């Protein structure tokens, strides 16, 4: 890192075409704000009160079967519905627009063991989750009215997870949501103007510089991106130009399972806690277009800043001006690389 990057500066995010303010001189400021509880690990393998544990009744009255691997079902309290009427208002002004949004919400239980997280699962079991994600993307994406399939996980109460059982969600929508829509435009514009893929070029650049690379295997490169907003944000990029999970071979499916295991383990080891995050995949829309510009990648957005109990808040200037971070992405990558790859509970 050059000496000038130790002073306030801003960095450009080419995927969102937005800027982030970096203020590395603020890392030593005192903290008298909110201190959260640490997120411990459960030693309970089966919780009779958990509606995602095998054989238990869910809040809506349905019973979760006694599954032995991955289990996927429709969310009992879905934010989207397959059928929804077009909102109609007589003589509605242009500034008060509304559109119908149809979709479907699915829940993916990663494992029947209540005590596990991705970081504590075996790579082989995570591979089964990757297979389930792929089949859900294939099935949901084939529905003509559904143009995007968003696969994600909210890990931990700090990120709003309503249940600690290892699980994630899949929402499919009638329109392409704002974040992947903005990335679609940026990727398409880059390809049209340069004749190459933005993320292929970016992954090659990060591999050459090395300073922000956190983890790597044959199929994926995981970095703290140059434009990271969250303190320990990471981006996992497929090394081959793959538009979606449907382009993956066995090697890429294994590679995705492995990189998820390694990244989440490093997160937990950083502060020796069950590290909270929101993680999700961005991949080609399912709108029937070819989308040769698209390149599969995974975003990790973890909120912890300086310890297991102090989080980063997006308030004030971040909400009214632009995102801001206190530690440089290079410093964050160095800290993540320095922790062991064996989970601290197993050492």
* Per-residue model confidence as pLDDT tens digits over 194-230: 999 999 999 999 999 999 999 999 999 999 999 999 9
pLDDT of residue 5: 77
Arithmetic mean of pLDDT, 119-144: 97
> Taking 60 as the threshold, does the pLDDT of residue 63 lie above it?
yes
| The pairing of beta strand 103-109 with beta strand 71-74 | antiparallel
Domain boundaries, the chain: 37-85+97-346
* Cα 269 off chain centre by: 19
**Helical ranges in 195-301 per DSSP H:** 198-209, 250-271
Q: Which residues pair with 108 in a beta bridge?
A: 72, 168
Tokens of 240: 């081959």
* Cα 242 off chain centre by: 18
* CA-to-CA dists, residue 3 to 9, 15, 281, angstroms: 12, 26, 34
> Is the CB of residue 298 less than 8 Å from the CB of residue 279?
yes
Catalytic residue among 114, 167, 295, 343: 167
Tell me: the pLDDT tens digits for 138-164? 999 999 999 999 999 999 888 888 799
Tell me: the pLDDT tens digits for 237-267? 999 999 999 999 999 999 999 999 999 999 9
Distance (Å, rounded) from C-alpha 309 to C-alpha 306?
8
Is 167 a known active-site residue?
A: yes
CATH code for 37-85+97-346? 3.30.428.10
Arithmetic mean of pLDDT, 230-236: 97
């Amino acid at each position: 890192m050059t000496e000038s990057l130790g002073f306030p500066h801003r960095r450009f995010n080419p995927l969102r075409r937005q800027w982030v303010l970096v203020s590395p001189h603020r890392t030593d400021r005192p903290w008298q704000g909110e201190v959260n509880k640490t997120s411990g690990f459960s030693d309970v393998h089966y919780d009779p009160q958990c509606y995602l544990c095998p054989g238990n009744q869910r809040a809506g009255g349905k019973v979760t079967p006694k599954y032995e691997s991955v289990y996927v079902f429709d969310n009992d309290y879905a934010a989207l519905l397959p059928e929804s009427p077009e909102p109609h208002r007589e003589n509605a002004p242009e500034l008060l627009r509304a559109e119908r949004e149809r979709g479907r919400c699915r829940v993916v239980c990663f494992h029947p063991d209540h005590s596990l997280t991705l970081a504590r699962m075996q790579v082989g079991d995570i591979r089964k989750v990757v297979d389930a994600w792929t089949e859900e993307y294939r099935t949901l994406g084939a529905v003509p009215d559904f143009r995007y399939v968003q696969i994600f996980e909210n890990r931990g109460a700090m990120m709003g997870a309503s249940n600690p059982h290892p699980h994630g969600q899949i929402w499919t929508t009638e329109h392409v949501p704002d974040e992947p829509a903005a990335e679609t435009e940026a990727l398409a514009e880059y390809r049209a103007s340069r004749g190459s893929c933005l993320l292929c070029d970016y992954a090659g650049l990060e591999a050459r510089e090395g300073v922000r690379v956190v983890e790597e295997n044959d199929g994926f490169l995981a970095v703290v991106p140059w434009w990271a907003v969250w303190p320990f944000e990471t981006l996992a990029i497929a090394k081959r130009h793959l538009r979606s999970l449907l382009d993956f071979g066995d090697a890429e499916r294994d590679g995705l399972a492995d990189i998820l295991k390694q990244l989440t383990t490093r997160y937990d080891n950083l502060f020796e806690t069950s590290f909270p995050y929101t993680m999700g995949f961005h991949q080609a829309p399912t709108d029937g277009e070819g989308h040769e510009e698209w390149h599969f990648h995974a975003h990790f957005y973890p909120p912890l800043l300086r310890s297991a109990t102090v989080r980063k808040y997006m308030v004030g200037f971040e909400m009214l001006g632009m995102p801001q971070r206190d530690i440089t992405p290079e410093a964050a990558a160095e800290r993540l690389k320095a922790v062991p790859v064996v989970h601290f509970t197993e050492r």
